[in-house]
Amino acid sequence: MKKPFLILFTVLLLVGCATTEQAVSGPRMVQKIIEVEGTKAELYKSTSIWFAKSFESSTEVIQHQEEGIIIGRGRTYVNLYYVRFLMTVEIKDNKIRVTFEQFEGETTSGNNMKIFDIQYINQIVPLMEQITNNLEAHLGKKTEEW
């Protein structure tokens, strides 16, 4: 009597394990270091201006701001989802490190989900690189006297 239950339990366990999603080996963080001329204070001011110009409401995006570091929460659109992320910009003389992490998806109906699907992670990375390239281009511009 115990053998049929043991066999049934083993089969169900194996079937359950076979359909379990595999862990994603893709990046959980996107990071880039930008080398640019300028003092820490100059780069901090220019980065703050970039935040104000690049996001609809920089006051809602920026979560923490102190000399040398700006932490913000952003959102972009991928396929049928909005992707929210945490962006940390660390600043020192002649160098800025930009880190994106804590990726979360949000459906257009407002349901939240963690981003684990490699397909979406692979679509997120180029968008984060585009944001970083935009910041780098802004920092490289020479300001004109008017």
Highest mean pLDDT, choosing among 75-79, 95-99, 108-112, 127-131: 95-99
131 burial type by CB count under 10 A (0-12 exposed, 13-18 middle, 19+ buried): buried
What is the DSSP secondary structure assignment for residue 2, as one 8-state letter?
A: H
Mean pLDDT confidence for 116-144 = 80
**DSSP count for the chain of H helices, then E strands:** 4, 6
Residues 6+ apart with CB under 8 A from 17: none
The boundaries of the domain holding residue 98 are 31-140
Who has greater pLDDT, 77 or 107?
Answer: 77
For the chain, the residue count is: 146
Residue environment code for 21-34, b if the CB has 16+ CB neighbours within 10 A, otherwise e = eeeeeebeebebeb
Task: Please state the pTM of the whole predicted model.
Answer: 0.71
- Please tell me the predicted confidence (pLDDT) of residue 115: 56
Query: Does 18 map to a domain?
Result: no
Query: Does 108 map to a domain?
Result: yes
CATH number of the domain enclosing 112: 3.30.530.80
Query: Does 36 map to a domain?
Result: yes
The answer, yes or no, to whether residue 50 has pLDDT greater than 50, is yes
Number of domains in the chain: 1
Query: Does 22 map to a domain?
Result: no
